[in-house]
Amino acid sequence: MKENVTIFDHPLILHKLSILRDKNTPSKDFRALVSEIATLMCYEATRDLPTEEIEIETPICKTKVKHIAGKKMAIVPILRAGLGMVEGVSALVPSARIGHIGLYRDEETLKPVEYYCKLPKDIGERDVFVVDPMLATGGSGIDAVSQIKLRNPRSIKFMCIIAAPEGIEAFTKAHPDVPVYCAALDEKLNEKGYIVPGLGDAGDRIFGTK
């Protein structure tokens, strides 16, 4: 696997993903699972956050402890489906600001169409987690990260639940400096640009729109 790409193999993530993929899993459970997987992924993706030593006082004595240095983070979901991952990530980093990028894939061309972008004003001082359950052709993720890079954040990481090899190839070519975290790397894209075996349309399954 490429140097900057992490594919998780934690049994809890694999188990939750197996239920997520099942076409009989209802929206309510699907939403909860997307959120839980996002939390587990965030736990791993924050492993390299820098810490610093500070002095505190316990009820017993003074002691030196480590805490996260410079805690400024931002979570940026790609609308709509990325919204499903926000709660799960922010459960672990509750002080993170939340930006939004609205993109949808044109069904004919498969190219992303941008319709919304609102990011924290001070994003230049923040470490950004871009979240979207699916990296298919890679177009939406590539565009979202390009938009965010224009505002010069401190760093960017991209988290998706399922990636296609085509998406990983395109994304890492466009943004070799952005680490990618995924719960699964699937086989391929089908002729309609859906990930195989995948989980279907993430947005429709999260919001029950089909």
- Residue 204 annotated among the catalytic residues of the structure: yes
Q: How many CB atoms lie within 10 A of CB 66?
A: 10
Q: How far apart are CA 153 and CA 130, in angstroms?
A: 12
Q: How far apart are CA 105 and CA 193, in angstroms?
A: 10
Q: Tell me which of 51, 109, 122, 177 is the catalytic residue.
A: 109
- The minimum distance between CB 196 and ligand PRP, in angstroms, equals 13
- The minimum distance between CB 14 and ligand URA, in angstroms, equals 19
- Residue 177 annotated among the catalytic residues of the structure: no
In degrees, rounded to 5, the angle at the alpha carbon of residue 141 between the alpha carbons of residues 138 and 146 is 120
Residue 34 phi, psi (nearest 5): -60, -45
Measured from the CB atom, the residue of 120 and 203 that comes closer to ligand URA is 203
Binding letters toward ligand PRP, positions 81-110, x by CB under 6 A:
x---------------------xxx----x
Q: Tell me which of 21, 105, 151, 154 is the catalytic residue.
A: 105
In degrees, rounded to 5, the angle at the alpha carbon of residue 41 between the alpha carbons of residues 70 and 93 is 35
198 binds ligand PRP (CB under 6 A): no
CA dihedral of residues 121, 38, 82, 107 (deg, nearest 10)? 150
- The minimum distance between CB 68 and ligand URA, in angstroms, equals 33
134 binds ligand PRP (CB under 6 A): yes
What phi-psi label fits residue 106: left (phi over 0), alpha (psi between -120 and 50 degrees) or beta?
beta
Candidate segments 43-51, 66-74, 141-149, 195-203, binder of ligand URA by CB under 6 A: 195-203
Binding letters toward ligand PRP, positions 155-184, x by CB under 6 A:
------------x-----------------
Binding letters toward ligand URA, positions 62-91, x by CB under 6 A:
-------------------x----------
Q: How far apart are CA 12 and CA 111, in angstroms?
A: 34
Contact 65, 56 (CB under 8 A): yes
**If DSSP codes are grouped into helix, strand and coil, which group holds residue 22?**
coil
**If DSSP codes are grouped into helix, strand and coil, which group holds residue 43?**
helix
Measured from the CB atom, the residue of 154 and 193 that comes closer to ligand PRP is 193
Residues assigned a catalytic role? 105, 109, 201, 204
**Which residues make up the interface to ligand URA (CB under 6 A)?**
81, 134, 136, 193-195, 198, 201-203
